[in-house]
Amino acid sequence: MAKKRTTKKAAKKKKTAKKPTPKKLVAIKNARTAAKGGALANPEKPLREHLLYLLRDGGAHADFDRAMGDWPVQLAGAKVANFPHTAWMLLEHMRLAQWDILEFSRNPRHVSPPWPEGYWPTAEAPPSEKAWKDSMAAFKKDLRAVEQLVSNPRTDLFAKLPWGDGQTILREALLVSDHNAYHLGQLVMLRKSIGI
């Protein structure tokens, strides 16, 4: 009879034990996988997926192609009252800032342009339709490069960049996402104000 009570107590204790946290479950899975000689589970996968979601205009972020795709080049230099920038100025600013962040993230010898003049075009309108299209294409190309950097499992999202002063790839990816979202929002409002 005493044995049955001990068994019931053990079963009751087992039922009320705390469930392991997701981090603990990953650690358990990693230990089992490593013991079998396999690859470790990637606990950063959800974070990488979320960063890509933000970079690709996820959630409340404006979509680049919807904001810019059919913008007539004739209106790329149009100004509206009480707003200091044109579509060309904002597009070039976004392109230059994103390029700088990307290069800083992957090239220890990169030298950033002077602030603020190195991050803005000197003209209010593009010099040609080709310049307008080239700027959009370069923006998209660099954005894909940021996405590839984030999605590469060999990229340590949390390591401080040795050539920086505390920056990480995680911080730089969030900076690209936030900066692009802010200026795309401005472009959406500019578009509405112009009546495109």
Q: Mind listing the pLDDT tens digit for each residue in 127-162?
A: 999 999 999 999 999 999 999 999 999 999 999 999
Do 3 and 61 fall within a single domain?
no
Phi and psi at residue 2, to the nearest 5°:
-65, -35
Boundaries of domain holding 109: 44-194
Tell me the pLDDT band of 44, cut-offs 50, 70 and 90.
Answer: confident
Do 173 and 100 fall within a single domain?
yes
Residue 105's alpha-carbon distances to 130, 159, 175, in angstroms, are 29, 11, 11
- Whole-structure pTM value: 0.77
Reference 60, options 151, 184, 190, 169; nearest CA is: 184
Reference 77, options 120, 122, 126; nearest CA is: 126
Do 159 and 108 fall within a single domain?
yes
Total number of domains constituting the chain? 2
Return the CATH number at 173: 1.20.120
Q: Measure the CA–CA gap between 50 and 47, rounded to whole angstroms.
A: 5
Do 68 and 129 fall within a single domain?
yes
7 or 69: which leads in pLDDT: 69
Do 87 and 148 fall within a single domain?
yes
pLDDT computed for residue 125 by the predictor: 98
Mean pLDDT, rounded, for 24-51: 69
End-to-end CA distance of the chain: 84
Do 22 and 55 fall within a single domain?
no
Q: Is the pLDDT assigned to residue 58 strictly greater than 90?
A: no
Residue 5's alpha-carbon distances to 40, 118, 129, in angstroms, are 41, 77, 84
- Is 168 strand, coil or helix? strand
Do 89 and 103 fall within a single domain?
yes
Secondary structure letter of residue 111 according to DSSP:
-
Do 3 and 85 fall within a single domain?
no
Q: Is the Cβ–Cβ distance between 183 and 62 less than 8 Å?
A: no
Tell me the pLDDT band of 43, cut-offs 50, 70 and 90.
Answer: confident
Q: Measure the CA–CA gap between 106 and 108, rounded to whole angstroms.
A: 7
